Amino acid sequence: MSGWILLSAGEASGDLLGAELAAELQRRAPGLELAGMGGDRMGASGVALAVHARDVAVVGLTEAVGRLPRLWRAYRLLTGMLRDPRPDLLVCIDFPEFNLLLARAAARVGVPVCYYVSPQVWAWRPGRIRTLRRLVRAMLVIFPFEEALYREAGVPVLFVGHPVLDRVKTVPPRELCRTRLGLTGTERLVGLLPGSREAEVRRHLPVMAEAAIRIERALPGTRFAVAVADTLSPDRVAALLPSHKGANFRLVRGDTYGVIRAADLIVTASGTATLEAGVLGTPLVVIYKVSRLTYLAGRLLVRIPFIGMVNLVAGRRVAPELIQGDATPERIAAEALKLLADPARLAAVRAELRRLPGLLGEGGAAGRAAEAALACLPQARP
């Protein structure tokens, strides 16, 4: 198949989604060219990167302001590519504030748009559904409740399943993951997942580490593994840990799933990691901290009972959530100890999490997304 697709992903999670999608697109249409914005994974999957995602990834309103010049440059470059060389299709991957603007630009020049991973219109700014109805040829969603929402609004939609179901298939058994981390016997391990972006890690890791010290005081011998995303520098992450002794921290880069599988409990920033932990069956405590301005805006706009995806999908509070001012070392340690010190409660949470995969559809999300994207292509130009 000739022609080319412009892909746009602006953060680490979107880069992973884009890489999986790119691999499936190339498997089905070997002659198709792929280019646009993404990260190292998309680049390794054959996408010619005009913009690197690390230059535009932001968390919250205050960080977005600081990145505006870079975001504007990326937007100008990609909108230029929409005109020349004009793509056959634009695939927007998450990153809604940027990608909705890009989709509008594509509509103005007649480039069809496929959107993979819905903006959280069910959480805030539901009016965006009307915008998406005007702009997209296909909305590809990864949560089952999103399909009905878009269908009722008249948006062409397909539930492709959640990609995490495929990603966890290759995670080794728990005992092997524990052996790789140097654990023996019944040693207790707590995983710390502060996020994949540097701003997130700066906010989350220091309070997580102080909570770890409190946990170790209550349960001596507990070990701690800090999952370091591929997008982060281990040295910069290590600099955020307390210099004094009091807890046994180990940094693990590039094996977040192994940390989750090996751990008795994880403390994680809200995001996809909460769902990954749930599918892998590991009990968790969810935290999240943002700037004061972002938090105040969120309180006015967000209308959902939970922020953790694991709780949203389960439809109930499977994992405790500590947000903003509640995300203190004392509160985090207290919630963790409720579980770690009570094997029966820990087992009950694990049993509840075993329901989660069945709520997320079937494997093969990237393949179904690729087929739907290819179906959006106009007749290939000669």
Domains assigned to the chain: 4-161+364-375 (3.40.50.2000), 168-359 (3.40.50.2000)
What is the rounded distance in angstroms from the CA atom of residue 357 to the CA atom of residue 314? 10
Q: From residue 228, how far is each of 50, 114, 166, 233, 310 by CA, in Å?
A: 26, 32, 21, 8, 21
Per-residue buried b or exposed e for 275-294, using 16+ beta carbons within 10 Å of the residue's own CB: bbbbbbbbbbbbbbbbbeeb
- Of the candidates 279, 252, 342, the residue with the CA atom closest to the CA atom of residue 142: 279
Cα-based angle 185, 283, 246 (whole degrees, multiple of 5): 60
- Per-residue model confidence as pLDDT tens for the chain (382 residues): 578 999 999 988 899 999 999 999 999 999 999 999 999 999 999 999 999 988 886 554 445 555 688 899 999 999 999 999 999 999 999 999 899 999 999 999 999 999 999 887 755 567 789 999 999 999 999 998 889 889 999 999 999 999 999 999 999 999 999 999 999 888 999 999 999 888 889 999 999 999 999 999 999 999 999 999 877 889 999 999 987 666 789 999 989 999 999 999 999 999 889 999 999 999 999 999 876 655 454 554 455 667 788 998 988 999 999 998 999 999 999 999 999 999 999 999 999 999 999 999 889 999 999 999 999 998 644 3
pTM value is 0.84
Which two structure tokens, joined as six digits, stand for 179? 């052996």
Which two structure tokens, joined as six digits, stand for 27? 């498997």
